[in-house]
Amino acid sequence: MRLAFLDEGQRSTTMFAHFLRTHEALLRVLPRAEVAYVSVTPLLFSAAQHVFDRHMPLKNSTHSACPLGVEHLVSWLDIRHRFREEGCSITPEEHRLLQEGECIYHAPVHAGLAVSWSNGAMNAEKVRKLFGTVEHRVSFVTELIEANYPRFLDQGAGYAPGYDDAEKCLFNNEIEGGALENTCH
């Protein structure tokens, strides 16, 4: 199944996040699905991908211990270990993931995973196996509409671009002998 979100010229991805929340229950029961972000400009494609990744952890296990997916938990464990245990510097994106994980992963199971990760007893492969990673069920694609559509404000139904009879009448008038001669009937 394919669901399409049509970007109507938004300046943010707020409506896309709402779209994903609205359709989350449907996407969870489908065996496979694709969410397409359709727009006339690629400006928000990267931001939309980020919103999709945050709101649709369906690509991975949705076990209660990893509500944003197994890969998110694995990334958090790795970044946490590198930053806290090894004292390595991390990127701003990794820092955001670390902070996000601190708000989510505070149960005893997470504390145990962090300790096991630090002493080498746990690694990414074991975490994936423990929480049963599933294959990608919901995918995200972007589609760029490369067409130039005329935009008319407040035009009635059935309006066709170009001149109508009344407008043609205005341009068909001729001035003869100083007087305007109306050729329209």
**Cα within 13 Å of Cα(45), Cβ side:** 13
How do the domains of the chain map onto residue ranges?
Answer: 1-60+136-159, 61-133
| Per-residue pLDDT tens digits for 58-80 | 554 457 788 777 889 999 999 99
Contact between residue 16 and residue 48 where contact means Cβ atoms under 8 Å apart: yes
- Can you tell me the mean pLDDT for 14-32? 86
Q: Which of the following CATH numbers is that of domain 1-60+136-159: 3.30.370, 3.30.1360, 3.30.70, 1.10.150?
A: 3.30.370
Give Cβ neighbours of residue 97 (< 8 Å, ≥ 6 apart). 72, 75, 76, 79
Bridging pattern class, strands 138-144 and 33-39: parallel
- Can you tell me the mean pLDDT for 133-156? 68
Residue written as tokens 């400006």?
Answer: 43
End-to-end CA separation in angstroms for the chain: 56
| Per-residue pLDDT tens digits for 75-119 | 999 999 999 999 999 999 999 999 999 999 999 999 999 999 999
